[in-house]
Amino acid sequence: MSIPPTPAPVRRATMVMYGIAVLVVGMVVVAILTMNLPTWTRVLGGLERNAMPLLRGFVNPNWGVFDLASRAMLETVFMAVIGTAIGAVLAFPMAFLAANNLLGSRLLAFPGKTVLVAIRTFPEILFAIIFVAAMGPGPVAGILAMGINSIGFLGKIFSDVVEGIDSGPSEAIRAAGGNDLHVFFYSVVPQVLPEFASYVLYRFEINLRAASILGLVGAGGIGAPLIQRLQFRRWDEISMIMIVIVVVIIVVDTLSSSVRRRLV
């Protein structure tokens, strides 16, 4: 029995994947050949001067900064919570304004999608630098930076979820005489809310990590004491701060993953 030929769509997809792989390999080779890469001597010297003292600090961290690190990490968690809440609340309506299936055409959804793309173009740290310059250093700048960036991220994910909903319940409601509001509240929203909540938790995990970095530019959180000690190479104190960050993020990730598995 002869083997049937590979379907044309599968062949085209395979060729596209091969083409992308060749392109990526070519770009990596060009980057390596054109970049001013450091020598191995410099790399090994830098690791010896910085990595080894840091590793020794992990073995014997300075517990004197534990209280400071704990308070700063608690502020970081609060920043991530508020920033995520702001982003989720504002991304909720934006998602429906960027969903092709609800608006009826790609043209009507284009402005909403464009706004979300524009927001996602800029990283949190750039927003943080702008807000620190505008209102001074502090956690408010970090909260606003994470909130705005979360709008672009969650709005895009939310709109994709809306576009993937089952149209059956909506058609049933319309067949029973329901209007657009009935369809929205009794078909669309119940289908998307569990996934929305799951992605909000996922974004909170991202914002918690981002909040740890935003303090490096004066936007509050645990990044501020971390950068101060990095400037003076206080490796035992740096290690204690990093241990606090890692432990809190592991706990949050574990709890968040457990909740998200129950939601979807």
Q: pLDDT per residue over 89-119, tens digit each? A: 999 999 988 888 887 778 888 888 999 999 9
For residue 46, tell me if it sits in a domain.
Answer: no
Flag whether pLDDT at 258 surpasses 90.
no
Q: pLDDT per residue over 34-55, tens digit each? A: 877 777 787 777 777 777 777 8
Please count the structural domains in the chain.
1
For residue 69, tell me if it sits in a domain.
Answer: yes
Q: pLDDT per residue over 5-39, tens digit each? A: 767 777 788 888 999 999 999 998 988 888 777 77
Helix segments in the chain, DSSP class H: 8-34, 40-46, 52-59, 66-97, 100-103, 106-121, 124-135, 139-163, 168-175, 180-183, 189-214, 223-231, 235-263
| CATH code, 102 | 1.10.3720.10
For residue 42, tell me if it sits in a domain.
Answer: no
For residue 252, tell me if it sits in a domain.
Answer: yes
In which domain, by residue range, is 147 found?
Answer: 60-263
Q: Which residues contact 147 (CB under 8 A, 6 or more apart)?
A: 82, 83, 84, 85, 86, 87, 90
